[in-house]
Amino acid sequence: MDMDTYDLMIVGAGPAGMTAALYAQRMGLNVVVFGDIAGGSTYMIEQLNNFPGFMNGIPGTQFGLQTFQQAQQEGAFFTMTRLESISYASGRFTGADVDGKSIVTPSVIAATGRTPKMLAVPKATLKGVHFCSICDGPLYRNKHAHLVVIGSDNAAGQHAIALSRVADKVLLVCRSEQLLMDDVYQKQIASKQNIDVLSGVEVLAYEGLDMIEGIMVRSLEGAEKRLTVDGVFLAVGWQPNTGMLDLAAETTTDGYLKTDDKLMTSFPGLFAAGDVRNTDMCQVLTACADGARAAKHVADFLSSSR
Say how far apart CA 236 and CA 89 lie, in whole Å.
Answer: 38
Q: 3-116+238-305 and 129-234 share one CATH topology? A: yes
Alpha helices in 195-235 (DSSP H): none
Percentage of residues of the chain with pLDDT beyond 70: 99
Considering the four listed CATH numbers 3.30.1310.10, 3.10.150.10, 3.40.225.10, 3.50.50.60, the one that applies to the domain covering 3-116+238-305 is: 3.50.50.60
CATH number assigned to the domain with residue range 129-234, chosen from the 4 options 3.10.20.90, 3.50.50.60, 3.20.20.80, 2.40.50.140: 3.50.50.60
Q: What per-residue string of b and e applies to 239-262 under the rule 16 or more CB within 10 Å gives b?
A: ebbbebbebebebeeeebbebeee
Domain ranges of the chain: 3-116+238-305, 129-234
Confidence of residue 46 (pLDDT cuts 50, 70, 90): confident
Q: Using the predicted structure, report yes or no on whether residue 204 has a pLDDT greater than 70.
A: yes
284 contacts 15 by C-beta, under 8 angstroms: yes
Distance between CA 196 and CA 202 in Å, rounded? Answer: 16
Mean pLDDT of the chain: 94
- Percent of the chain past pLDDT 90, that is, above it, reads 92
Q: Cα-flanking dihedrals φ and ψ of residue 143, to 5°?
A: -115, 10
Instruction: Over range 170-181, report the average pLDDT.
Output: 95
Cα-flanking dihedrals φ and ψ of residue 225, to 5°?
Answer: -155, 160
Across 91-99, average pLDDT: 93
Identify the residue with better confidence: 95 or 46. 95
pTM for the complete prediction?
0.87
- Give the C-alpha separation, 45 to 156, whole Å: 12
Asked if pLDDT for residue 1 goes beyond 90, the answer is: no
Residue 305 confidence class, pLDDT cut points 50, 70, 90: confident
Euclidean distance between CA atoms 242 and 40, whole angstroms: 15
Cα-based distances in Å from 284 to 103, 152, 240: 28, 20, 16
Mean pLDDT of 264-286: 96
| 240 beta partners | 114
Q: Label residue 5 by pLDDT band (50, 70, 90).
A: confident
**Span 73-90, average pLDDT:** 95
* Contact (Cβ atoms closer than 8 angstroms) between residue 131 and residue 116: yes
Write out pLDDT tens, residues 243-274.
999 899 999 999 999 999 999 999 999 999 99
Instruction: Give the C-alpha separation, 139 to 134, whole Å.
Output: 10
Q: Nearest 10 degrees: CA dihedral of 31, 296, 35, 101?
A: 40
Residue-level pLDDT at 4: 62
Q: What is the DSSP string of 4-61?
A: EE-SEEEE--SHHHHHHHHHHHHTT--EEEE-SSTTGGGGG-S-B-SSTT-TT-B-HH
Q: Give tens-digit pLDDT for 49-76.
A: 899 999 999 999 999 999 999 999 999 9
- Reference 107, options 91, 131, 124, 83; nearest CA is 91
Residue 147: name the closest of 126, 125, 163, 165 by CA: 163
pLDDT of residue 214: 97
By residue count, the chain amounts to 306
Write out the H or E segment, with its range, that includes residue 122.
Answer: none
Tell me the average pLDDT across 201-226.
95
- What single-letter DSSP state applies at residue 277? B
Please say if the pLDDT value at position 167 is more than 50.
yes
Q: For 103-121, how does the pLDDT look when each residue is reduced to its tens digit (9 = 90+)?
A: 999 999 999 999 999 999 9
Given a cut of 50, whether residue 198 has pLDDT beyond it is yes
Are 214 and 205 in contact by the 8 Å Cβ rule? The answer is no
Q: What is the rounded CA–CA span in Å between residue 61 and residue 41?
A: 9
Q: In a 10 Å sphere around its CB, with 0-12 CB exposed, 13-18 middle and 19+ buried, how is residue 141 labelled?
A: exposed
Cα→Cα distances 278→271, 273, 284, Å:
12, 9, 15
